[in-house]
Amino acid sequence: MSAPSPDFQRVQSQTGLLEKVELFVPGFHGYKEKEMRREADGLLRARIFRSLTQAESTFKDVYRMIVEAGLSEAIGDSDHLVAKMDRISEQINHAEEGYAGFFDAVKVREQDLDRMTAFDASLVDSIQNITQAINNLSSEVSASKYDQARQHIMDITGMVNDLENTFNQRKNIIVGVTG
Protein backbone atom coordinates (compact mmCIF):
# COMPACT_ATOMS: atom_id res chain seq x y z
CA MET A 1 0.00 0.00 0.00
CA SER A 2 1.28 3.49 -0.76
CA ALA A 3 2.35 5.99 1.87
CA PRO A 4 -0.52 7.97 3.37
CA SER A 5 -1.08 11.43 1.92
CA PRO A 6 -0.28 14.50 4.00
CA ASP A 7 -4.01 15.21 4.24
CA PHE A 8 -4.65 11.69 5.55
CA GLN A 9 -1.88 12.13 8.13
CA ARG A 10 -3.45 15.45 9.14
CA VAL A 11 -6.90 13.88 9.54
CA GLN A 12 -5.36 10.97 11.43
CA SER A 13 -3.49 13.28 13.81
CA GLN A 14 -6.63 15.28 14.57
CA THR A 15 -8.78 12.34 15.60
CA GLY A 16 -10.36 12.74 19.00
CA LEU A 17 -10.15 10.32 21.91
CA LEU A 18 -13.45 8.63 21.06
CA GLU A 19 -12.36 8.16 17.44
CA LYS A 20 -9.03 6.68 18.58
CA VAL A 21 -10.90 4.23 20.84
CA GLU A 22 -13.18 3.34 17.92
CA LEU A 23 -10.10 2.37 15.88
CA PHE A 24 -9.53 -0.51 18.34
CA VAL A 25 -13.05 -1.93 17.98
CA PRO A 26 -12.92 -5.08 15.81
CA GLY A 27 -14.64 -4.52 12.47
CA PHE A 28 -14.77 -0.78 12.97
CA HIS A 29 -11.08 -0.09 12.32
CA GLY A 30 -11.33 -0.58 8.54
CA TYR A 31 -14.48 1.51 8.35
CA LYS A 32 -12.86 4.37 10.28
CA GLU A 33 -9.68 4.21 8.16
CA LYS A 34 -11.80 4.51 4.99
CA GLU A 35 -13.67 7.45 6.44
CA MET A 36 -10.39 9.23 7.26
CA ARG A 37 -9.14 8.59 3.71
CA ARG A 38 -12.36 10.06 2.30
CA GLU A 39 -12.00 13.11 4.56
CA ALA A 40 -8.39 13.57 3.42
CA ASP A 41 -9.45 13.42 -0.23
CA GLY A 42 -12.25 15.89 0.52
CA LEU A 43 -9.70 18.32 1.95
CA LEU A 44 -7.54 17.93 -1.14
CA ARG A 45 -10.47 18.48 -3.49
CA ALA A 46 -11.50 21.55 -1.50
CA ARG A 47 -8.02 23.00 -2.06
CA ILE A 48 -8.19 22.14 -5.75
CA PHE A 49 -11.63 23.76 -5.97
CA ARG A 50 -10.39 26.96 -4.29
CA SER A 51 -7.37 27.14 -6.59
CA LEU A 52 -9.49 26.69 -9.68
CA THR A 53 -12.12 29.23 -8.59
CA GLN A 54 -9.34 31.71 -7.78
CA ALA A 55 -7.91 31.20 -11.29
CA GLU A 56 -11.40 31.68 -12.69
CA SER A 57 -11.78 34.91 -10.73
CA THR A 58 -8.49 36.20 -12.14
CA PHE A 59 -9.65 35.28 -15.62
CA LYS A 60 -12.93 37.15 -15.08
CA ASP A 61 -10.85 40.28 -14.40
CA VAL A 62 -8.98 39.65 -17.67
CA TYR A 63 -12.31 39.12 -19.42
CA ARG A 64 -13.53 42.48 -18.13
CA MET A 65 -10.39 44.18 -19.48
CA ILE A 66 -10.89 42.47 -22.85
CA VAL A 67 -14.47 43.72 -23.03
CA GLU A 68 -13.38 47.25 -22.07
CA ALA A 69 -10.68 47.14 -24.76
CA GLY A 70 -13.30 46.11 -27.33
CA LEU A 71 -11.53 42.91 -28.42
CA SER A 72 -14.64 41.41 -29.98
CA GLU A 73 -12.74 38.44 -31.45
CA ALA A 74 -11.79 37.27 -27.93
CA ILE A 75 -15.05 37.98 -26.09
CA GLY A 76 -16.93 34.84 -27.16
CA ASP A 77 -13.95 32.61 -26.40
CA SER A 78 -13.57 34.26 -23.00
CA ASP A 79 -17.23 33.77 -22.17
CA HIS A 80 -16.97 30.11 -23.16
CA LEU A 81 -13.87 29.65 -20.98
CA VAL A 82 -15.53 31.21 -17.92
CA ALA A 83 -18.49 28.83 -18.28
CA LYS A 84 -16.18 25.82 -18.74
CA MET A 85 -14.06 26.73 -15.70
CA ASP A 86 -17.18 27.15 -13.61
CA ARG A 87 -18.51 23.77 -14.72
CA ILE A 88 -15.30 21.82 -14.03
CA SER A 89 -14.74 23.51 -10.67
CA GLU A 90 -18.25 22.47 -9.59
CA GLN A 91 -17.63 18.92 -10.83
CA ILE A 92 -14.50 18.77 -8.68
CA ASN A 93 -16.26 20.30 -5.71
CA HIS A 94 -19.15 17.82 -5.85
CA ALA A 95 -17.23 14.71 -6.93
CA GLU A 96 -18.00 11.32 -5.45
CA GLU A 97 -16.14 10.52 -2.28
CA GLY A 98 -15.35 6.87 -2.89
CA TYR A 99 -18.46 5.16 -1.55
CA ALA A 100 -19.93 1.99 -2.97
CA GLY A 101 -23.34 0.64 -2.07
CA PHE A 102 -23.61 -2.37 0.21
CA PHE A 103 -24.80 -4.61 -2.63
CA ASP A 104 -22.56 -3.13 -5.37
CA ALA A 105 -20.46 -5.74 -7.19
CA VAL A 106 -17.37 -3.52 -7.10
CA LYS A 107 -16.33 -2.49 -3.59
CA VAL A 108 -14.13 0.50 -2.82
CA ARG A 109 -11.14 -0.62 -0.76
CA GLU A 110 -8.43 1.37 1.03
CA GLN A 111 -6.02 1.08 -1.90
CA ASP A 112 -8.79 2.35 -4.19
CA LEU A 113 -9.24 5.36 -1.92
CA ASP A 114 -5.47 5.94 -1.89
CA ARG A 115 -5.47 5.74 -5.69
CA MET A 116 -8.34 8.27 -5.78
CA THR A 117 -6.39 10.67 -3.56
CA ALA A 118 -3.25 10.26 -5.70
CA PHE A 119 -5.35 10.91 -8.81
CA ASP A 120 -6.83 14.06 -7.28
CA ALA A 121 -3.34 15.20 -6.24
CA SER A 122 -2.20 14.85 -9.86
CA LEU A 123 -4.76 17.51 -10.82
CA VAL A 124 -2.84 20.08 -8.78
CA ASP A 125 -0.13 20.39 -11.46
CA SER A 126 -2.73 20.97 -14.18
CA ILE A 127 -4.40 23.68 -12.16
CA GLN A 128 -1.06 25.34 -11.39
CA ASN A 129 -0.32 25.42 -15.14
CA ILE A 130 -3.74 26.92 -15.86
CA THR A 131 -3.23 29.51 -13.12
CA GLN A 132 0.19 30.46 -14.48
CA ALA A 133 -1.17 30.82 -18.01
CA ILE A 134 -4.01 33.03 -16.75
CA ASN A 135 -1.58 35.16 -14.74
CA ASN A 136 0.62 35.59 -17.84
CA LEU A 137 -2.41 36.59 -19.91
CA SER A 138 -3.47 39.01 -17.17
CA SER A 139 -0.04 40.67 -17.23
CA GLU A 140 -0.15 41.05 -21.01
CA VAL A 141 -3.69 42.42 -21.09
CA SER A 142 -2.93 44.79 -18.19
CA ALA A 143 -0.01 46.13 -20.22
CA SER A 144 -2.35 46.62 -23.22
CA LYS A 145 -0.63 43.82 -25.16
CA TYR A 146 -3.62 42.35 -26.95
CA ASP A 147 -2.02 40.84 -30.08
CA GLN A 148 -1.82 37.29 -28.65
CA ALA A 149 -4.78 37.48 -26.25
CA ARG A 150 -7.13 35.28 -28.27
CA GLN A 151 -4.44 32.64 -28.83
CA HIS A 152 -3.65 32.58 -25.11
CA ILE A 153 -7.35 32.18 -24.32
CA MET A 154 -7.54 29.28 -26.76
CA ASP A 155 -4.45 27.70 -25.15
CA ILE A 156 -5.98 28.06 -21.66
CA THR A 157 -9.23 26.57 -22.97
CA GLY A 158 -7.26 23.58 -24.21
CA MET A 159 -5.65 23.19 -20.79
CA VAL A 160 -9.06 23.34 -19.10
CA ASN A 161 -10.41 20.79 -21.61
CA ASP A 162 -7.51 18.48 -20.74
CA LEU A 163 -8.23 18.94 -17.02
CA GLU A 164 -11.88 18.10 -17.57
CA ASN A 165 -11.08 15.02 -19.67
CA THR A 166 -8.63 13.82 -17.03
CA PHE A 167 -11.09 14.45 -14.22
CA ASN A 168 -13.78 12.51 -16.08
CA GLN A 169 -11.57 9.41 -15.77
CA ARG A 170 -11.69 9.65 -11.97
CA LYS A 171 -14.49 7.14 -11.37
CA ASN A 172 -12.61 4.47 -13.33
CA ILE A 173 -9.48 5.18 -11.31
CA ILE A 174 -11.38 4.82 -8.03
CA VAL A 175 -12.58 1.31 -8.78
CA GLY A 176 -9.31 0.20 -10.38
CA VAL A 177 -10.48 0.25 -13.99
CA THR A 178 -7.77 1.68 -16.19
CA GLY A 179 -7.90 2.14 -19.88
- What residue ranges do the domains of the chain occupy? 6-174
Mean per-residue pLDDT, 76-103: 81
Of residues 46 and 160, which shows the higher confidence score? 160
How many beta carbons lie within 10 A of that of residue 36, not counting itself?
A: 22
Q: What's the pLDDT at 103?
A: 37
Residues with Cβ within 8 Å of residue 127, at least 6 apart in sequence: 48, 51, 52, 55, 163
Cβ atoms of 172 and 178 closer than 8 Å: yes
Judged against a pLDDT cut of 70, whether residue 29 lies above it is answered with no
Mean per-residue pLDDT, 50-60: 96
The helix or strand, by DSSP H or E, that contains position 23, with its residue range, turns out to be none
- CA separation for the pair 71, 74 (Å, rounded): 6
What's the predicted TM-score (pTM) here? 0.73
